Amino acid sequence: MSSYEKPDFWAAKARKEGYPARSVYKLMEIDRKFGLVRQGARILDIGAAPGSWSLWILRRLAGKGFLAAVDLQDLAAAPAYENFLFVRGDLYDAETRSRLLAAGPYALVLSDAAPATTGNRLVDQSASESIVEAVIAYAEAALAPGGALVAKIFQGGAEAGLLKRLRGRFALARGFKPEACRSESFETYLVATGFRKA
């Protein structure tokens, strides 16, 4: 059994607290550090399945604000909240993009999306970079002034170029690796705040 299959502290904690995946604790840590999820905010969650991030955000919003989420797969936890829109679709699809942008503007765009991994690190890094570029394009189109972005990326050298792009449109952009990431994982997060409209 690989370490990815063994239930660790975070996975056990997620099950106990009703979340479908341990990734929720990465978002909690990011939010504690950067203060991104605010009461009454409109938020977009890209690559939302299995649904831990969306569920935690909706609990934090407590019936106020609004959350839109998108994924190719259905959510394992399908929250029944009036202020929640889930779009099952491809983030690259024009109709999907139109529906999500129409629900904005957003104060925060989040993405924990990752490509289906092949085992070839270079291929996986390239696919991850492509997703992040698409997420940044959503943010540039959908964020309100002052808004923020969080996007997961597989480390491999593309981060510097993406951070440079973000710094052209945000007051602050940096990388951040939450403690809840597995020690053997090569994922990290790009966090940008203070969005400036072009």
Token pair 């831990």: residue: 52
Asked if 128 and 71 count as a contact pair (C-beta separation under 8 A), the reply is no
Strands 187-195 and 143-154: antiparallel
Which entry of 16, 26, 152, 164 is annotated as an active-site residue? 152
Distance between CA 85 and CA 63 in Å, rounded? Answer: 13
Q: Which residues contact 111 (CB under 8 A, 6 or more apart)?
A: 45, 46, 47, 131, 132, 135, 150, 151, 152
* Bridge partners, 149 (sequence order): 109, 192
Active-site residue, 152 included = yes
Question: Which residues are catalytically annotated?
Answer: 152
